[in-house]
Amino acid sequence: MLIYEGGIISMNTNPINPAACFVLEITMLVAFACRWYYLTENWERYLLVLAFPAIAAALWGVFRIQNDPKPEPVEIQGILRLLLEFVLLGVAVWALYGLGYENTGLIIAIVVVIH
């Protein structure tokens, strides 16, 4: 739901937006961990289960836009942040499809597009 404020449509003031972001972020990290766990069958799976979600979380948390409510360790342009989010969440959707959770992947993809 978008909120109209004096000619500007704002998503930051909508209470649903942070909840949707949180669900997307957690789903992304769980999908990455599960996908890498089932992709390999040797000891490397444990390294990948820890490393890949940690790298994704670090990228998500470090690169922020200028007027983000949280402090930005590395400030990037809004379009680059949007591209980063689409790439990470797109890989999460791919991971869900690869795990056989096509419906969940489709729901996440729809939420990403709406968000």
Q: Decide if 1 is inside a domain.
A: no
pLDDT digits (tens, 9 = 90+) for 58-86: 998 888 877 777 776 888 888 888 899 89
Q: Decide if 101 is inside a domain.
A: yes
DSSP codes, 42-82: STHHHHHHHHHHHHHHHHHHHEE-TT-SS--SEE--HHHHH
pLDDT of residue 106 exceeding 50, the answer is yes
Distance of alpha carbon 28 from alpha carbon 95, whole angstroms = 9
pLDDT of residue 1 exceeding 50, the answer is no
> Whole domain around residue 44: which residue ranges?
15-114
Q: Decide if 52 is inside a domain.
A: yes
Q: Tell me how many domains the chain contains.
A: 1
Q: Decide if 19 is inside a domain.
A: yes
Q: Decide if 75 is inside a domain.
A: yes
- Residue-level pLDDT at 12: 55
Distance of alpha carbon 107 from alpha carbon 65, whole angstroms = 26
Q: Decide if 73 is inside a domain.
A: yes
Of 58, 76, 59, which Cα lies nearest the Cα of 67?
76
pLDDT of residue 6 exceeding 60, the answer is no
What DSSP element (H or E) covers 109? helix 102-114
Q: Decide if 5 is inside a domain.
A: no
pLDDT digits (tens, 9 = 90+) for 17-67: 778 888 899 999 999 999 989 888 888 889 989 999 999 999 988 888 777
Q: Decide if 4 is inside a domain.
A: no
